[in-house]
Amino acid sequence: MPGARTGAAEAATQLRRLAQDPSFRPVERVLAELGTVPSDSSAGIEAIRALRRWGAEYLRVADELETAARRCRLAEREIGERIDEFLTSWQGGPAAAPAHGPGMAPERVPEAAPAHGPGAPPAGARRRNGRDGWFRELLHRGRTGHEQAEDRPLPAPHTGAAPSLALPAAAQRQQPAPAGPAADVAALVLGPLELSVAGRRVLRWNSLKARAVFQYLLIHQGRPIRRDVLMELQWPDHTRNSARNNLNVALYSLRNTLDGPGQGVQPVLYQDGCYSLNPELTWWIDRNEFLSTLHHAESARRAGRPRQAIDAYEQAVRLYRGPLFEDDCAGDWFLPEQRHLGELYLQALEQLATGYFQLGELPEAVRAGQLAVGTDPCCEPAHRILMRCFGSQHQRQLVSRQYRSCVAALQDELGVPPGEDTVQLFRQLTAAM
């Protein structure tokens, strides 16, 4: 592969370009400067530790992408087979659907040919057209007036849209009902995606592409997203016409899924070539609540209100069920945000453990510290807090065990020794007992 021939620096550059992640830039800089740093200096050791962490992260992402590619190929084959089986047994097709689907504007663009009379297609013509004819009719029914006007000159949808219409049975999972407050739309994105519309739990997505578009609109809530951005993100290898038609099909499915919050209210707006979530509806997203709660916790901590800070950190920790879109094995655009939110969660646990320790509530401090090292075994600040807790209780054996656990984790995962702060704390605590 080209990356293997051109070295680690170019591989890092290529990965940053693909993931569009500014956090990869330090890798290129460190790789370029590493040759000028003495190997026995503290700066050199820190650079090596950072590179090992980044290297492990890159391998993890590569493994996930390879697994996702295999899954997508299998899913595409299964979806195509199911659509062909459905079309074979289809009697009547989309013509039996209601004239106004959820989220559709009442206006309809007239059909190209009258339903009856001279020039009308013979009975069963739609069914004989197969997948292409079915997509054309479905696409037409799912468009608003503005979208239909813009798309009218385009040819019929490309048959490549087929993989975006069905969710394989193996991917359908029922999750516990979300615990968010009453809202028109409540979305839990920290962990597996869970969605409730007007209090109704959405148990099944009819389109994986509809879900992917919805995830992007959720994370960029409040900012109009250009149609071309969604097309390039979800269908990068398709022609413009094919990508646009596939997006139209996905949006039709998404509007059906989000139907229910209010009569005649479009959940997804389209204006000036951009899509956005309708601000007239009440949206509750756990990611937004998580970030807001962390902001309140930091403000209380800086203002010297430890109890209020602890309460806010506890609330933030409860909101974090897992990595952002944990059950999405196909997407990669959200990985930088996923890592960022994971780091904020880890920092919240560290602050929570520190706050409890400073208030003398050692059992709670140990609980938070153990959650932190369970999330990241190489989190030295959390190891140090646990060592301080055990030292305050004169439990020298537990201090030593925690230190050994820290040393082993750093050696196994990063191949580095613990930092000087950790070593000095261990010596201080064991010497005092």
The single-letter code of the amino acid at 79 is I
pLDDT for res 183? 85
Q: What is the pLDDT of residue 85?
A: 56
Spell 360-373 as b/e; 16+ CB within 10 A means b. Answer: eeeebbbbbbbbbb
98-105+127-167+205-281 CATH fold: Arc Repressor Mutant, subunit A (1.10.10)
Min mean pLDDT across 49-63, 285-299, 333-347 is at 49-63
Task: Return mean pLDDT, the chain.
Answer: 75
- Domain 323-431 -> CATH class: mainly alpha
pLDDT of residue 182: 73
Name the amino acid, one letter, at 107. E
pLDDT for the residue numbered 53: 67
In the predicted model, is pLDDT for residue 416 greater than 80?
yes
Q: What is the pLDDT of residues 336-355, one digit of tens each?
A: 999 999 999 999 999 999 99
Q: Kindly state the average pLDDT of the residues 113-139.
A: 42
Instruction: Please report the sign of the dihedral spanned by the C-alpha atoms of residue 16, residue 17, residue 20, residue 26.
Output: positive
Q: Where are the domains of the chain?
A: 2-85, 98-105+127-167+205-281, 323-431
Host H or E run for residue 383: helix 380-392
Q: Where are the alpha helices (DSSP H) in 269-379?
A: 286-302, 306-319, 335-358, 362-375
Does the pTM surpass 0.75? The reply is no
Do the beta carbons of residue 180 and residue 286 sit within 8 Å? yes
Average pLDDT over residues 195-202: 91
- The model's confidence at residue 39, banded by pLDDT at 50, 70 and 90, is low
Give me the mean pLDDT over the 385-393 stretch: 96
Beta carbons of 342 and 326 less than 8 angstroms apart: no
DSSP string across 201-242: E----S-HHHHHHHHHHHHTTTS-EEHHHHHHHH-TTS-HHH
- Helix, strand, or coil (residue 285): strand
Mean local confidence (pLDDT), 413-433? 92
The 3-state DSSP class for residue 107 equals coil
Q: How far is CA 209 from the centre of its chain?
A: 14
Other Cβ atoms within 10 Å of 16 Cβ, number: 16
